[in-house]
Structure 1
Amino acid sequence: MSYSVQHPKKKHILIKSFSQLQKLITAIDILKNDSEINSQLSILSMFTNEQSFKNKKDQIQFEKQLKEYWKKVLGSAIEFGIFKNPEIGTVYIIGSLTSLFMHEINGKALGGISVGLNGILRGLGAGKTNADTFIEMLHNGNYLLIIRGFDDDLHHLKTALEEV
């Protein structure tokens, strides 16, 4: 009798930075139109409209508009969260990783703790240098598209997104 050991496939991440919203949307369209890919996506971005936070009413309205916008772009119900990171400012997260970034520790979102963003990105598989670079890009106003999937799918997506 012989046995074969099946090694379960592990999911990894691919992070791509976009300086322009339209390029991010193009990348999302590529992901949505590729039915062979089994992946989860999340988007991290800075709140660029800080003027909207002068009073709570404006903030709530702005959050609703932002959530509705991304719901239309992604074409489905989305998880959405906002946290204030002491090093880079107010950040929002959309997608499957929202609960990870918004997980509370002592009443604060994990992403809002001083080393939280770095720890999350490193825990997802980004090296220290890459995590620091992505956080700097985020701070500079770029959008981070985080795709979680199996290696074959991520390789395919990386190739498909090279032109964007």
Structure 2
Amino acid sequence: MDTATDDREILAQFRQESSKNWAFDQLMRKYQQRVYMLIRKMVIDHDDADDLTQEVFVKVWHNLDKFREDSQLFTWLYRIASNECLNFLDKKRRRYFLPIHDVRKELAGKLESNSGFTGDEIQLKLQKALLTLPDKQKLVFNMRYYDELSYEEIAGITGTSVGALKASYHHAVKKIEEYLTNT
């Protein structure tokens, strides 16, 4: 059974009161890890990523019956998760009156002290390079590089044109290359 069929079945079951909880459990099993990893790459900290993942699925629970199915379910979930990440990072900056470079410095410190980070030194350097990117550029890079999403899929998630995404990804790659060369 393909993903679209599975998603249609989950949605059909969710819309029936008798199987709503079962369907949501299936949705969680299918997408929770992917959503968590998208969020974790953006906010770095496990506890923050865990909290945001929970918030995403609370929103999904409250809004899934309104999902119009004009995109894939995972696209809709990624859109919610992406917006939650961007809002979280923006609130963090405003809450602590931190300039963007201080937030990046804090996240870099979390990367280095994170016992859950299993990457080698090169991977750590890449993660630090990603922290130098604007949040939306980092989001596009993560979706394209790590999640291997097509530009069309990313466009559906972010509501951005394919051309703009290609330019954003290109700029992100150039900034990462420059960071890696100069450190």
Give the TM-score normalised by structure 2: 0.26
More strand by share: 1
Give the TM-score normalised by structure 1: 0.28
More helix by share: 2
